[in-house]
Amino acid sequence: MNKLKQILMIELGSFLFALSIGLFILPGKVLTGGVAGIVSLLSAYIDFDADIMVIILNTLLFIIGSILLGKEFFFNTLLYSISYPLMLLFVTRRMASVEIEPILASLYGGFIGGVAIGIMFRNGGSSGGVDVIALSLEKYFHIKVNHTIMAVDALTVLAGLYTYGLNAVLIGLLSVFMMSLAIERTLNFYQGGITAKKFEIISDKYKEISDDINNSVIDRGTSLIDIEGGYTGSRRKMLMVVASEDQVKAINEIINKYDPKAFVIISDTNEVNGEGFTYMARL
């Protein structure tokens, strides 16, 4: 049953991605990232059916990726590589076309595409495309995947500056931003927890800071962790607290009230489950 659900979710992601590209990105000639962005850029110089060119490039990259990255990539991407071209042709050839302002095409195309990629990632699938280049460079040259994807997307959009002008580039950057945001939000939604901020505080005033956080309107629990300095060998206490994003300012004010020189690390926490976050305490 879990395998069937996984397949169905990858198929849903493929269809949503086909909607994103076929209804918004290609008709609007949006200079987004990935294969669709490259095709939108090339369409200014070469006369071709954009949907067919997307399918050809995706298929070539899938073959190259299967050779360079092996069986794991092949099986993770196979289902998408079969279903996505068919769904894209259905969207572009069978669904009614609509005229949409470029800025709306960019925003909605980026959002729907990001949701689609997030769904596929959380269910073991892959969107192939430019990911093949990024994964190959990581495997053979140890270049981080996100660096390559960002570079390719940025170069694709910026290359459109000469062809389409500044307005098209700015609109394209909106699509890239919206897609990145939608991927992150979709992944967080699937994780089931809540995003929050984690404070790690090293201060001699840890007791006062902890009591104030516990007893103020913030009403968050705190934890004390024994630590040892790597250079001095001195033993100290580190205070840890996890809070919602709207409480960051108040906690910083409490820390500064007792110890303006405290050493503080604030980091993003993508999945928090438990009292005060995913359920409330029983009274």
Query: 56-82 pLDDT, tens per residue?
Result: 998 998 898 888 888 877 877 888 888
Q: Is the per-residue pLDDT at 228 higher than 70?
A: yes
Q: What is the mean pLDDT of residues 143-154?
A: 74
Q: What is the mean pLDDT of residues 141-163?
A: 77
Looking at CATH, the fold of the domain delimited by 194-272 is given as Alpha-Beta Plaits (3.30.70)
* Between residues 3 and 63, the one the model is more confident about: 63
Q: Are 188 and 210 in contact (CB under 8 A)?
A: no
Does residue 261 sit in helix, strand or coil? Answer: coil
Q: Closest Cα partner for 111 from 8, 23, 11, 5?
A: 23
In the chain, which ranges are continuous DSSP H helix? 2-19, 34-42, 50-69, 71-94, 102-122, 130-141, 145-164, 166-191, 206-215, 248-258
pTM for this prediction? 0.68
Mean pLDDT computed over every residue of the chain? 83
pLDDT band, very low/low/confident/very high, at 280 (cuts 50, 70, 90): very low
What pLDDT score does 271 carry? 67
* Between residues 64 and 219, the one the model is more confident about: 64
* Between residues 176 and 154, the one the model is more confident about: 176
Domains of the chain, by residue range, sit at 2-191, 194-272
What pLDDT score does 217 carry? 67
Q: Closest Cα partner for 125 from 35, 199, 190?
A: 190
Query: 167-204 pLDDT, tens per residue?
Result: 888 898 898 889 888 887 887 676 555 678 899 999 99
Q: What is the mean pLDDT of residues 143-153?
A: 73
What pLDDT score does 193 carry? 56
Tokens (6 digits) for 265: 């690390």
Q: What is the mean pLDDT of residues 28-42?
A: 84
What pLDDT score does 276 carry? 59
What pLDDT score does 274 carry? 61
Q: Is the per-residue pLDDT at 96 higher than 80?
A: no
pLDDT band, very low/low/confident/very high, at 256 (cuts 50, 70, 90): very high
Q: Are 240 and 222 in contact (CB under 8 A)?
A: yes
**Percent above pLDDT 90 for the chain:** 25
